[in-house]
A and B are shown apart, each in its own frame.
Chain A
Amino acid sequence: QVQLQESGPGLVKPSETLSLTCTVSDDSISSYYWGWIRQPPGKGLEWIGYIYYSVTTYYNPSLKSRVTISVDTSKNQFFLNLSSVTAADTAVYYCARVFGYNDPRVFDVWGQGTMVTVAS
């Protein structure tokens, strides 16, 4: 079973860019969509976006202006950049494998999540 592991700073200053990495344990990164989901403390899940084979990206319309997802297939890693962060971006950030090539819709493998706090 493939495993995912998020990594990155746990504290980001307001107005700066949040950058996270998700490392995939096998070589399947070119075969699936890969996504990011976040969960503010005590709140529900929010889809951020996903990427397929470093070519195609799709983002939550509410975050689209600030989000960039990219991939490095040589390192089996994909990345999240979220710019101009505020306290509202404080959350646990999860990376996940996405099932469904034509209609990517199912997050079937998840990382353990990483807490990111936005504060000065």
Chain B
Amino acid sequence: QSALTQPPSASGTPGQSVTISCTGTSSDVGGYNYVSWYQQHPGKAPKLMIYDVTKRPSGVPDRFSGSKSGNTASLTVSGLQAEDEADYYCSSYAGRKTVVFGGGTKLTVL
């Protein structure tokens, strides 16, 4: 069970769209439509932003969207705002009641 691969960093200016990728294998990301994305501000607990690839929990702005193609999932943040600056982690169900996380991406709003 290896960690999912995310780029260490991403950036954009206010109002822009930014996409963060999350690459796994056919045993996790590619095998299930069960990818989640979490936002984590410094010193805080992670917050669920997207689950089951495309679903948004109540209260999460629709500026956040998710997608998947093959073994790679993506999180897109549209209309970037200063408060979106945070670390973002993907996770995927990996079968047999196991979960694997990505290494995290630091999103900077320039």
With A45-B46, A110-B45, A110-B47 as known contacts, state yes or no: A62 contacts B1, CB within 8 Å: yes
Which of chain A's residues have a CB closer than 8 A to the CB of B47?
110
Check A47–B93 contact: CB distance below 8 A: no
Check B1–A113 contact: CB distance below 8 A: no
Residues facing B in A21-70 (CB within 8 A) are: 37, 44-47, 50, 58, 60-62
Q: How far is the CA of A99 from the CA of B51 in the complex (A)?
A: 10
Q: Does B66 contact A (CB under 8 A)?
A: no
Residues of B participating in the A interface, judged by any CB pair closer than 8 Å: 1, 3, 32, 34, 36, 38, 44-48, 51-52, 57, 89, 91-93, 96-104
Chain A contributes a number of interface residues (CB within 8 A of B) equal to 23
A1-19 vs B, Cβ < 8 Å mask (1 yes, 0 no): 0000000000000000000
Check B101–A105 contact: CB distance below 8 A: no
Which of chain A's residues have a CB closer than 8 A to the CB of B48?
106-108
Q: How far is the CA of A114 from the CA of B38 in the complex (A)?
A: 18
Q: Does A78 contact B (CB under 8 A)?
A: no
Which of chain B's residues have a CB closer than 8 A to the CB of A111?
45
Check B52–A106 contact: CB distance below 8 A: yes
Check B45–A108 contact: CB distance below 8 A: no
Q: How far is the CA of A37 from the CA of B91 in the complex (A)?
A: 12
Check B89–A47 contact: CB distance below 8 A: no
A61 — nearest CB in chain B belongs to which residue?
A: B1
A62 — nearest CB in chain B belongs to which residue?
A: B1
B36 — nearest CB in chain A belongs to which residue?
A: A106
Check B46–A110 contact: CB distance below 8 A: yes
Give chain A nearest CB distance to B21 CB in angstroms.
15
8 Å CB contact of B45 from A47, A99, A105, A113:
A113
Check A60–B38 contact: CB distance below 8 A: no
A104 — nearest CB in chain B belongs to which residue?
A: B97
